[in-house]
Amino acid sequence: MNIIKLNAIGSTNDYAKSNLKVLLTKIPVVIWTENQTQGKGQRGAKWITEEGKCLTFSLVMRSKNVTSTSQFKLNKIVSLSILEILKKYNVPNLAIKWPNDIMSANRKLGGILIESNYRGNTIESFIIGVGLNINQLNMSYLPKATSVAIETGVINDISHILTEISNAIERSIKDLNTITEQSLNDRYLEHLFKYQKPCTFNTQEIQNIPGIIQGIDATGKLLVQFQADELPQAFDLKEIEMLY
């Protein structure tokens, strides 16, 4: 794995996008910084970090073999690879909040932002951006967030976690086409936050509606059942919010 370390950068995902042509000649390659100043999150949110305390990196990969239907497979394997490594650091109650927030119990430890790059109409490559809270000891400035240090009481070497996670992601990407959808789904659902538990949602039509997550469909939409006698409905990221 080639690791390019930048002293400071707005967003490692944006840097990867601007330098894609060169980076594609160096894959597997990771862009890493300990000082990301304009981090981007899901749904247009900002990703806020404290210098030197978070793991923020972007892994660049070619899209060969990733079809549009297997794109959510990529989300799943990246989330599961991160969980696999964090388990070794004894982070308690690890879970994935759909689609790919990394949780410890009901607090957010990190997130993933996968961006696709097109050549004409086809996806040429992906930028897999990962942000994880590692060594912060006080996160009261971010509601519902936590860090590895808060959860375990241990301060860790961030570069070591970077190597382990990026290698784990690379390994699972290599296996992408041999992993069956079924086994991947089973592993994802096993770790899915609030799976089959009653919780409350906001949809575009209704606020504070009780429902139960019943799974994920083939394209990665969340399946939520609101009434016992009705079939689950499918939602994408912009269409539903879970309150927890």
**Residues at the interface with ligand BTN (CB under 6 A):** 11-13, 36, 39-42, 45, 47, 56-58, 101, 111-113, 129-131
Nearer to ligand BTN (CB atom), residue 127 or residue 184: 127
What tokens does 240 get?
A: 């539903």
Nearer to ligand BTN, 77 or 113 (CB): 113
How far is the C-alpha of 51 from the C-alpha of 19, rounded, in Å? 23
Q: Minimum CB separation from ligand BTN for residue 205, in Å? A: 24
CB 118 within 8 A of CB 101: no
CB of 44 to ligand BTN, least distance (A): 9
Please identify the residue of the shown chain whose CB is closest to the bound ligand BTN.
111
Q: Which is nearer to ligand BTN, 100 or 172 (CB)?
A: 100
**Residues whose CB falls within 8 Å of the CB of residue 105, separated by 6 or more in sequence, listed in order:** 92, 93, 95
Supply the minimum distance, in Å, between the C-beta of residue 173 and ligand BTN. Answer: 17
d(CA 21, CA 4): 15
> Which residue, 78 or 232, has its beta carbon nearer to ligand BTN?
78
Whether the CB-CB separation of 57 and 166 falls below 8 Å is answered with: yes
- Can you state the angle between helices 71-88 and 158-174, rounded to 10 degrees? 140
Please report how close the Cβ of residue 145 comes to ligand BTN at its closest, in angstroms: 10
Query: What is the Cα–Cα distance from 223 to 115, expressed in whole angstroms?
Result: 23
What's the CA gap between 53 and 135, in Å, rounded?
Answer: 5
Nearer to ligand BTN (CB atom), residue 36 or residue 232 = 36
Residue 217 CB, nearest distance to ligand BTN (Å)? 21
